[in-house]
Protein backbone atom coordinates (compact mmCIF):
# COMPACT_ATOMS: atom_id res chain seq x y z
CA UNK A 1 0.00 0.00 0.00
CA UNK A 2 1.70 3.06 -1.32
CA UNK A 3 -0.11 5.58 0.92
CA UNK A 4 0.96 3.69 4.03
CA UNK A 5 4.62 3.94 3.13
CA UNK A 6 4.38 7.58 2.08
CA UNK A 7 2.72 8.28 5.44
CA UNK A 8 5.58 6.47 7.19
CA UNK A 9 8.02 8.81 5.46
CA UNK A 10 5.90 11.88 6.24
CA UNK A 11 5.56 11.09 9.93
CA UNK A 12 9.08 9.85 10.59
CA UNK A 13 10.89 11.96 8.00
CA UNK A 14 13.10 13.62 10.59
CA UNK A 15 14.76 10.24 11.13
CA UNK A 16 15.04 9.53 7.43
CA UNK A 17 17.65 6.77 7.57
CA UNK A 18 15.62 4.76 10.06
CA UNK A 19 12.44 5.38 8.09
CA UNK A 20 13.95 4.10 4.87
CA UNK A 21 15.44 1.06 6.59
CA UNK A 22 12.10 0.28 8.25
CA UNK A 23 10.37 0.45 4.89
CA UNK A 24 13.01 -1.68 3.17
CA UNK A 25 12.92 -4.40 5.81
CA UNK A 26 9.46 -4.06 7.30
CA UNK A 27 7.33 -4.08 4.16
CA UNK A 28 8.64 -7.42 2.83
CA UNK A 29 8.17 -8.88 6.33
CA UNK A 30 4.54 -7.70 6.30
CA UNK A 31 4.02 -9.20 2.84
CA UNK A 32 5.40 -12.58 3.91
CA UNK A 33 3.59 -12.57 7.28
CA UNK A 34 0.22 -11.89 5.65
CA UNK A 35 0.81 -14.55 2.93
CA UNK A 36 0.66 -12.01 0.14
CA UNK A 37 4.07 -13.17 -1.13
CA UNK A 38 6.33 -16.05 -0.32
CA UNK A 39 10.04 -15.71 0.28
CA UNK A 40 11.34 -15.23 -3.25
CA UNK A 41 13.40 -12.92 -5.42
CA UNK A 42 10.36 -10.68 -5.98
CA UNK A 43 10.68 -9.47 -2.40
CA UNK A 44 13.73 -7.47 -3.46
CA UNK A 45 11.55 -5.52 -5.87
CA UNK A 46 8.93 -5.03 -3.17
CA UNK A 47 11.62 -3.78 -0.84
CA UNK A 48 12.91 -1.34 -3.46
CA UNK A 49 9.41 0.00 -4.18
CA UNK A 50 8.68 0.36 -0.47
CA UNK A 51 11.89 2.33 0.00
CA UNK A 52 11.09 4.63 -2.92
CA UNK A 53 7.58 5.30 -1.64
CA UNK A 54 8.83 6.04 1.87
CA UNK A 55 11.49 8.29 0.33
CA UNK A 56 8.74 10.40 -1.26
CA UNK A 57 7.27 11.02 2.20
CA UNK A 58 10.71 11.76 3.65
CA UNK A 59 11.44 14.32 0.91
CA UNK A 60 8.12 16.08 1.52
CA UNK A 61 8.79 16.11 5.28
CA UNK A 62 12.28 17.52 4.79
CA UNK A 63 11.00 20.21 2.40
CA UNK A 64 8.35 21.31 4.91
CA UNK A 65 10.97 21.34 7.66
CA UNK A 66 13.33 23.54 5.63
CA UNK A 67 10.54 25.92 4.61
CA UNK A 68 9.45 26.43 8.22
CA UNK A 69 13.04 27.04 9.27
CA UNK A 70 13.42 29.69 6.59
CA UNK A 71 10.15 31.39 7.47
CA UNK A 72 10.81 31.45 11.21
CA UNK A 73 12.41 34.71 12.42
CA UNK A 74 16.12 34.33 13.22
CA UNK A 75 15.86 35.56 16.81
CA UNK A 76 12.84 33.51 17.91
CA UNK A 77 13.27 30.75 20.43
CA UNK A 78 11.24 27.57 20.74
CA UNK A 79 10.23 28.14 24.37
CA UNK A 80 8.93 31.64 23.74
CA UNK A 81 10.47 32.93 26.99
Instruction: Answer left, alpha or beta for residue 6, where phi above 0 means left and psi between -120 and 50 means alpha.
Output: alpha
Domain that includes residue 39, residue range: 2-70
Q: Is residue 81 part of a domain?
A: no
Q: Is residue 51 part of a domain?
A: yes
Q: Is residue 31 part of a domain?
A: yes
Q: How far apart (Å, rounded) are the C-alpha atoms in residues 4 and 27?
A: 10
Q: Is residue 79 part of a domain?
A: no
Q: Is residue 80 part of a domain?
A: no
Q: Is residue 77 part of a domain?
A: no
pLDDT tens readout for residues 22-80 = 999 999 999 999 998 888 888 999 999 999 999 999 999 999 999 998 888 766 666 65
Does the predicted model carry a pTM greater than 0.85? no
Domain count, the chain: 1
> For residue 3, which of 57, 47, 39 has the smallest C-alpha distance?
57
Amino acid sequence: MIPTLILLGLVFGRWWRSSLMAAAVGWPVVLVATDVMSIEVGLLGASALATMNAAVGVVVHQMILRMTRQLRPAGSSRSGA
